[in-house]
Each structure stands twice: as C-alpha cells, then as structure tokens.
Structure 1
Amino acid sequence: MGNADRAHHADLVYAILNEGSATAQSAVAASWSRSLTHYGLDPDHAPPPQRLTHHEFRTAYDRMEPFVRLAQGTLDRLFQSVGDAGCCVLLTDGEGVPLDRRGMAGDDADFLAVGLWTGMVWSEASEGTNGVGTCIAEGRALTIHREEHFLTRNIGLSCTVAPIWDAQGRQMAALDVSTCRSDLTPAILKLVAAATREAAHRIETHHFRETFRHARILVGPDLGNGPAGLLAVDREDLVIGASRAARLAYGLTDERLLRPFPAEDLLGGDDTRPEQGLVTAERAAVRQALSRSKGNVSAAARLLGISRATMHRKLDRLGIAREG
C-alpha cells in the first residue's frame, strides 16, 4: 500500500460518512460510523494493536480449550488450502481475540507486525472496521478488503471471516483467513471466502454433535440460503437441542427448547413444507437400521438408540411396512 493511499484514507472515510445516505446504503460505511461515533476512533491516530497479558490470554484460552481442540483438524485442512496463497488462519473467541492460528514461516513477520497473532484484540471497539470485529458485531460472514478497514494502519489487509455459533445458537467464535498480499484476484478471494464459510460450518457442526453426543442428530434440508439445521433428539423422539440454523428455519426459541417436544411436531404435515427434508432423512435412517438388522424391529431400535415402542410409532408415522 503506497504512502499516497495511506495519506488519503482518512479523507475518504470522512467524505463517505459526510454523505447522509452512506450509512444506510453501505454495511462498511455503517461500521465506519460505529468506529467513529460509538467507539471514538480516529482513522489516522490509533494506538498500537492491543494485546492481552499472558494471564488474560491463558484465561481466555482455558475457557475455550475444548472447543479449540475440537477445531484442530478443520483448521489444519483450511490452512492447507489457503496457506500457499499467503494467508494465515485465525480462530478467535467471541471477543475477537485469536486463540489459535496457522501461518507460513515466511509470512509470519508481516502478520505479527500488523497484529494478526494470538492474544491480540480484534474487536470493532479496538480496531474499528475489520474482518473479525465487524463479523462479530454483525453476526454474519463477510470480507473486509484493504481500504474498507477503518484504521489507516490496517488497509494493507484483506480479511475474510465467518461466525461460529454454539449449540444454543449464540455466537461463540469467529474463523478468519487474512492476507497482507495485494496480488490476490477477486476470484481467489471468493474461493477463500467459500472455504472459510465451509470450515466454520464444519467446526460448528462438530461442536453441536459433541455437545449432544448422547443424542441422535437429525439433519435438516438446505433451503438454499444457508447450511442445513441440526436437531438433537433423545431416545423418546423428543427434540432436546437445535442449532442456530434450525432455530431460524423452524422458529425455535430457548423457551420452546426448555421443554423437550416430539420431533413429529416439526416433521409432520404437508409435503410442500421444507421440513419434509427432515422426514426424508429420518425415513432413510430408519430403513437403514431395519436393513442392517434384517428387518428385526427391536434390533433396529437398538441401533437407533430408541425404544421398541418409539420405533413402532416411527414406522407407522413414516409409512414403513414391517417385515414378517
């Protein structure tokens, strides 16, 4: 990034924010406005990036350690995909503090210089508009590309970030892929964004399955606007948990989930409803269990982790004939 670009960045920020309709028309301008008016930041005059003390970082890490360990394989695979393009991978907590990272040794000096490292604070309140902080503030996947950053010292970065939601549908972390390179094409950045979203979804799914490891997991349909939702169902076919996507798809709230309810309440009804994707998945699971047990209903019920009576109710509801 040239000195001329850096010199004019603050002028660009103020010029856009002075346009009355800019905040309504641009998500970046809305974040710039928060950075200026809500957090009191100055594009050109900001202190060095904030870093947690060793004790503060250990406290933050220990709180999230099981989650960080669970994400290791996915972080490794993501870095294998993007590392050669000069990108680092960061897994942050819900406050925007990177707890784990992957980076090429040859690029690490540049990343450390700009604060893309564990223990740094990338909240919007601290760094203004940036990938991690703005993703957490807005609860959505996004890319903040170079001059879209609020602080002038960050405009050499391109950051693609996706939120990660916990098993109760709350935002718990963010997955960031960032680069200091200026030669990545828009097409490459789109591929990086897709890989980041997919990896975040894998981590989120793994976390949900681990949280409800003693339950059966039903996978909802992909409705075209996001990943399929997950439902956790107990031995009596009662819904005991739902991922954020499932909560949005089926209108489930914490209050509704406090009292387990029959999965049939979501699965039943007209064939035109999108919930029928769950019926299809459930029918397939039941038929596979029957096949593996050679038609023995009791054995199939044990494979599914449900009672024989519940299995019979499923067979009746799903219209699956009993053998013999």
Structure 2
Amino acid sequence: MVSALSHIREIERVAMGRPSNRDRPVIQSWLRCLNDYQLNPARPQEAYIVPATQLREHREQSEELIRIGRTGLEGLFRQVADQNYVLLLSDARGVTVEFMGDPTFDNQLRKAGLYLGSEWSEDRAGTCAVGACIVSEKPVIIHQDDHFDACHIGLTCTAAPIFDTFGDLSAVLDISQLRSPTEKASQQLALHLVASTARRIELANLMTRAREDWVLRLARLPDFLDVDPDAAITIDGNGMITGMTHGGFGAVARSMNQNTVPTRDFIGKPVSDIFDIDIDQLPALMRGRPNGERMVRARNGLALFASAIAPVSSFRTPSTIIPARLPAALRHLSFGDPAMEALQARAAKLADRNLPILIRGETGSGKEYLARAIHDSSARSGPFVAVNCAAIPEQLIESELFGYAPGAFTGAMQKGKMGLIEAANGGTLFLDEIGDMPLALQSRLLRVLSENEVQPVGALRPKPVRFRLLSASHRDLAAMAAEGRFREDLLYRLNAATLTIPPLRQRRDFDGLVDHLLRRHGEEEGETITIDLAARRALARHDWPGNLRELDNTLRVAAAMATDAAITAECLPEHFQAEALPGGGQVDNEALRRQLGECGNNVSELARRLGVNRSTIHRRLKRLH
C-alpha cells in the first residue's frame, strides 16, 4: 500500500495536468473533489455516519426498494461473504440504507465507513465507488489509492447504479473489502456480480410496478430469456413504452446504434418506433412457443429474443390519471398522455428534494411552466425567479445575474443593483436556455453553486445565497460539453435529475390540451368557446414545430376571429386548412380509410408509408371516427 504522502503528491500532479495511469473515472473524480468540492487531500476525514433520526428517514424513503431487492441482495452477499466482502446499498444521496457484513468486524467496519448509515457522497467522502457511481451513473471500481481521502486508501470498493423505471437513479449497490490483493484487476469479477445484481433488482422493481402494462423481456441469447433477461420494457395498451430496466436496456440500445440517446428518452415512444412489433403482436411472444422462436427485430436490423408477459389487470385508459396523488400545480400538465403521466410522477417525487433538475424539451414545449409547477409543488416559501439566458444581451447578462456594487462601472446605478441570483435566495432560480450562457459566466455560476455565495460585479465580498436550481435547454448540453462549448463540470451540477418533455406532435392527449386551453381562454374573456370537428381535424394535421406555445397562440387568434365564440376551420390561419398528410390527399374519412385498407388495416404499415408516427395515425383516426 502506498504512503499517504506519496498519494497526496500524486493528486497534486494530476491537479497540475500531468499524465497519470489512473482510470479516467478516477481522474475525473479527483478533479471534481479538488475543483468542485474544494476538498484537501492533505486533510483526511474519517468516515461519517449520519445520526439515527436522519438514517431512519433515509431508510423509510428506500423501504420499498429494499423489500423488492431483498432476495437479490442476500443472494449476492452469499456469493461474496467468504471473501470478506461487505454489502452496502446506498440511496441516491450516498447514505447506506442497507448493510450486510460479518458482525465479528463491526467496529473495524464502522470506523472504515463500511456500515449502516455511512455517507459516501463524493462531496463529503471524496473519490469513492458509491460517490463516483452517483455522479457518472455507471458501474465503477475504486481500488485502494484510487480513493481521494488517505483514510480510505486501504479499501477496495465496487459499485453499480440502480435506476427506477423512469430512468432516475434510485440507489447504488456496493461490495467492499477492508483489505484486498494489490491488483485492481482482482475486482473485475466483483464488478460483474454487482452489475448483474443491480440489473436483476431493476427487473424485480419493473415487474412489481407493471400490473397494468405488458412486460417485454429481451435477450441476445434464448437460454435465460424468461429468468434473467438482458433488459425489459413495459408497454401500455396504446403501444407506448412506459418504463424499462435502464441499466440493461442501455446495453441493448448501444447494440442498436443508439449510443447517444439516454434510455429515459425512449419512454413515451411507440414500441413500433424501436422494434418491428405492434401492441397486437405481443401475445404471439408469450410462453407456449420455444424461446428460440420468439424474436423481435430492432429498426437497425438487430435481432433479439423476446418474451412477453400480459398485464395482470386490464389496460389503463388515458382518462384514468389519478390527480389526487399529484400536487395541484402538476395536475394539469397532462390529459392522458403516457409520457407526460410518467413525467408528472417523476416531478412529484423530486419537487421537495433539494436536487438540481435539468428540463429538456423543444422550444415552446412548456419547460418554464413545468419549472414553476415544481416550485409551487415544493415546500419552499421563497420566490420563483426565471431568467432567460438567451434573451439577455451578452454584455448585460453578468450584471443581471450577479448584480453590481455602487459605482462598479460607468452608468451603474448609484445604489448598485441586486442580481437575479440573489433575488432567488430562499426560493427557486430557473435558468432557461442555459445552453446560451457564455462560457465565462458558466465558470462564475459553477462557483456560486459550489460555495453557496454570489459576488456582485465590483463588490469586495461575496454574499451567502441558498436556492433551488432548475434549468432548461432545447440544446443537447452533453454534445456541447464534448465539443468544449459547455462546461462539463457545470453539466454535472445541473442534471442531478433530468425531466424530458415530449414534443406536442408525439403527445396522445391533443384533444384534451385543446379543450383545456379553450376553457382557460374562455374564462379570461368571460365566455364559452367551442370548436367544431373540421377545425379540430385541421389542427390535428399540423406538426406543431412551435409546440404548446404555437397551439396556444393559434387558439387565441382563432377565438378572436370566431363568431359567437364558435371556432370553425375558417377561423384558423390558411396553412392549417391546406395542410395534408405526407403521401398526398387531404385528411378525410374516405382517403384515410382507403389508405388503411390498402395496408391490410395495419396502422404501423400505414404510418411507415406516410412517414409519420404510429401515434399520429391513431390520433387522426380517433378524430375522424
């Protein structure tokens, strides 16, 4: 084992940018410890055990996952106990909520932090398997002096993430030893065992929650398809993906050449967009035929063995949202769309957590509306301060965000000015279109988030601030970070959790949205606004590049043009009346019936022929019939 002094010297060399033989995840974690958390390797900190009352809260919040994963955890521990491993299950904040180990070594394990209640978040413990796994959301080995803190360099720790069915990190599974062989390669088997167990726990969690949906298990080989598949997805009665085992499906997605698509982005998509199957073909994949004969093919041609399990209860219909279980501010985000229902459930879980959330979605899809709903659903009494980073001129954005001291520059107000960050103190700061923030200001924002203090332009001393950070962008921030146009360390700070809003053209609650907006406009104008079938059809044909904002504006104009508050097709802009389905022909009953008949009543085939989503055909059939 290396000495503490030589370990500190190595970290200092890495900090100066010198080459190192360490694995890339270790180097990245060391740099986060130095730059983001301001940890000092020369000041070792012993393991921290949270107070009993706090531990009880963490365990209560993780109680269901512990119950679901109990069999898998005990099975893994039986496999590794003879090698003096201990098993830790940590929640998404790094607190150990379940522990299995040899009670003979309780005192040593507690001192080392390998014990119930230990906190292994990276900002507290430095580089460690649990903390690095929380940040990277990938399996990792942190072996001996890979650890940042010299107190932990005798340990070897191997961890894998466990995701919920929506793709949010819910826990980290870790097995660790007080002492181990010198070679890091000795832990490769441990990595395999931990990752496999995490995948099985995700499957058990998915099966527990899938009573109303189909479950489709997927595997590259047929041998263990029904007992230990590579991945599984849930599909509702409309053929939409509602959940998945994210660890396993990520590997399947990479095989499908979907390397850059986060697994959570598959939720809400029609299964027919991913595989060559429809909802009505799932019964043919149920047990009764040999495993080797049940197969699906991905759109890129990859063949996978598949096994379908029918819903335990009847299919859920779009009207069966359970608003009473949602905060009031979140209830009107959806009117029956599966992807939006999943988003509502995730947002409700996250509303009271002090976690930064990145909201993704196209322009006009309702990112600020969702951010405000999250703020209103939380217990925060402070203000909601929204900043559109794309709307403020670059030369003014620094003073707008950070404020300035009296006389800071020519033309400054005599009393100075409070910045928008300070104005959000005690509440929520929402940074919209954060991808447009200049790089120099990204560095300053990162310091605000790290130090919980803001320094106005021209001020000598910083001011303490505490706020909940929500941000949004229609850009791919990960791709921008890879190109050097967005700070990678800031991205990690922003997206502790990610919520993705589907575009309007993919939503299955279009009628409900139209009716909701018309009711709202009618209340504003003191009248009841109606819309006829022809106008609805014209709206349904449009692809809505401007999303909800475009729909809202269109309905406002149509209502203003309407006679006696009754919207007809003539009240809409001309291009709505002229638009046709791809492939030719106006959208009318006979044309669509004829084209559907030519496809043998196969909706997926008609969608492929016309070049639209299957959900678009279903929605238009619903309007026409």
TM-score, scaled to structure 2:
0.41
Structure 1 gaps, min length 5: 287-300, 307-312, 318-324
CA deviation digits over 1:242-284, x for unaligned, max 9?
33254782657767745x74x3333228957457645x525xx
Aligned to 1:264: 272
Secondary structure (helix, strand or coil) at the match of 1:92 reads strand
Matches within 5 A, 1:284-323: none
* CA distance in structure 1 between the aligned counterparts of 2:200 and 2:249, rounded to whole angstroms: 15
For the 8 Å contact 1:220–1:277, the answer to whether it is kept is: no
Q: Distance in 1 between matches of 2:40 and 2:19?
A: 21
Q: Which residue is 1:122 aligned to?
A: 120
Q: Which amino acid aligns with 2:119?
A: V
Matching residue of 1:281: 306
Counterpart in the other structure of 1:232: 234
CA drift of 1:5 comes to 1.3
Distance 1:51 1:265, change over 3 A: same
1:55 & 1:150 partners in 2: Cα distance?
A: 29
Match of 1:13, SS state, is: helix
Partner of 1:219: 217
Query: 2:14 aligns to what?
Result: 16
- Given candidates 69, 72, 90, the residue that maps to 2:70 is 72
2:243 to 233, 241, 244: 241
Answer yes or no: is the 8 Å Cα contact 1:23–1:29 preserved in 2: no
The correspondence for 2:111, drawn from 110, 113, 121, is 113
Q: Structure 1 residues 119, 8: closer, same or farther in 2, change over 3 A? A: same
Task: Specify whether residues 131 and 112 from structure 1 end up closer, same or farther in structure 2 by C-alpha distance, changes over 3 A only.
Answer: same
What's 1:322 paired with? none
CA contact (8 A) 1:212 1:232 kept: yes
Contact preservation (8 Å) 1:89, 1:177: yes
* Alignment equivalent of 1:196, drawn from 194, 201, 213: 194
- For 2:275, the aligned partner's letter is L
Task: Kindly indicate whether residue 145 of structure 2 is the aligned counterpart of residue 147 of structure 1.
Answer: yes
How many residues align? The count is 287
Q: 1:264 to 1:30 in 2, by over 3 A?
A: closer
Q: Structure 1 residues 147 and 243, CA, compared in 2 at 3 Å: closer, same or farther? A: same
Checking the alignment, whether the CA contact within 8 Å between 1:23 and 1:30 is kept in structure 2 is: no
| 1:237 CA drift (Å) | 4.1
Which of 53, 57, 76 aligns to 1:55? It is 53
Q: What secondary structure, in the 3-state scheme, does the structure 2 residue paired with 1:15 have?
A: helix
Counterpart CA distance in 2 for 1:252 and 1:16 is 30
Instruction: Name the structure 2 match of 1:170.
Output: 168
> Cα distance 1:276–1:235, how it changes in 2: closer, same or farther (>3 A)?
farther
1:290 maps to what in 2?
none
Take 2:180 and 2:266, find their aligned partners in 1: how far apart are those partners?
49
Query: Matched residue of 2:114: which SS?
Result: coil
The alpha-carbon deviation at position 130 of structure 1 amounts to 0.6
Distance 1:11 1:204, change over 3 A: same
| Aligned counterparts of 1:178 and 1:271: Cα–Cα separation in 2 | 40
Bigger Cα displacement from structure 2, 103-112 vs 156-165: 103-112
Gaps of 5+ in 2: 222-228, 278-295, 316-600, 606-625
Q: Hey, what's the Cα distance between the residues in 1 that align with 2:299 and 2:105?
A: 50
Q: CA RMSD in A?
A: 3.5
Cα deviation, residue 229, structure 1 = 3.3
SS at 1:172 equivalent = strand
- Percent identical: 27
More helix by share: 1
The alpha-carbon deviation at position 304 of structure 1 amounts to 11
CA distance in 1, matches of 2:311, 2:189: 43
Flag the 1:219–1:256 CA change in 2: closer, same or farther, 3 A.
closer
Is the Cα–Cα contact under 8 Å of residues 141 and 163 in structure 1 kept in the other structure? yes
Specify the SS of the correspondent of 1:220: strand
